[in-house]
Structure 1
Amino acid sequence: MTDIAIVDYGMGNLRSVLKALEHAAPTASIVVTSDPSIVHQAKRVIVPGQGAMPNCMRELDARGLHQVVLEAAANKPFLGICIGLQMLFEESEEGHVSCLNILPGKVVHFPIEAMTTTDGQKLKVPHMGWNQVHQTMAHPLWEGIADNTRFYFVHSYHVETSHLKSIAASSNYPFPFTCAVAQDNIFAVQFHPEKSHASGLRLLSNFAQWTPNFKN
């Protein structure tokens, strides 16, 4: 049985995720796969992704991965990265598409009119580069990672949710936005741990060892 399946639905730099994970969890068996049966059998599942949400949801359906990703998010350790976080929510402004509807909330574009610092400096969209991550809950995946550690971001959209107890971290650009969520066996991040050097590798290592407490 595969220890960790990285879901390949044709979106994102899967090789970077694979190489980082191989370094972070050298004894684990890891595959990049678009085969639903392999995802179903894996002990842990990672859903990364970059690109447009309509394309992501279409490709999940086209490759027969939609249902098996839902099942993984319900019953095994699950890590979402970038769009892998966003797709957990109800809908996205990008293309006005429905997402996986696992968590309440929506994915919205950074509002161009608000992208100004207090001293009048204009901020670019996409939000690209290193930014501090403010941990808002204790969680096994934060173990060994100091609060306000910098992680690498590349995104034009972010999550808005009223489900405050699921928010695991926020970042500022220029206002606070949710950049990590956690619920039961799910942990998902807006930033890219595979591009975030030692701290990102630690988060991936923590995931490879994580045994979540499942809801009854």
Structure 2
Amino acid sequence: METKNSFSTVAYTTPVVHGPRTINELPSDVLGIILGEVFHAIRQPYIEREAAAPDLTQLSSWPTWADRTQEYPFAESLASVCTLWRDIMSNVSCFWTPLVIWLGRDPTPLSTICQYLSWSRHQLLEIYVLRRYDPLVEDRTEMVQITTILEVLLPHVKRWKVLCMKLLHSSSLPRPRVDLVGHAENLVRLNLDFIIDDAVGHAATTIYAVEGFRTPMLQEL
């Protein structure tokens, strides 16, 4: 009895086995759309919550990746995943319109602030100047930091939509028409908050250079 191998008469081609594909293998424009959708999905509930009941006493940055930490703004969390994501996001201005600047330990470098301002292009800005949690109740550098940060932000005053500062010392807060100057034509929310009131009375002879600070659209102070 003759037995034939059934496979001997069948043309057999070994399939090409591909390794697991990753999101980074997608075209840049497609990956940009995905990152934008993730950005919108996480950002939208925060926007709706703020619109329904804005809490000006509890300043916080916009949501972080999976809400695992309140330390890092969401755009930076995405952009820090890898160089490719950062490069793609740097070309999409809406990622960088909420600008969160950290003070205290591990402060946001001025170079990073300038970079994000550039990436936001001509979009309106929501600026949050916040402190990371620190048990120390003194920061002698805070006023200098704020002065330096304002020098970077003031050229963009026409793009300010929100300016919120939650500082340690009241003396570090910028003063409207002295430190805050210019035509903030799109500013709708201005919040200057502090933890420790260390302001001292100025002598009557003290003279400041007073300039205009115009905020025709301001709704919340």
TM-score normalised by the shorter chain: which range applies? 0.3 to 0.5
The structure with the greater share of residues assigned to helix is 2
Which structure features the higher share of strand residues?
1
Asked which structure has the greater RCO (Cα within 8 Å, sep 6+), the reply is: 1
What is the TM-score of this pair, normalised by structure 1? 0.32
Q: TM-score, structure 2 length as denominator?
A: 0.32
Larger Rg: 2
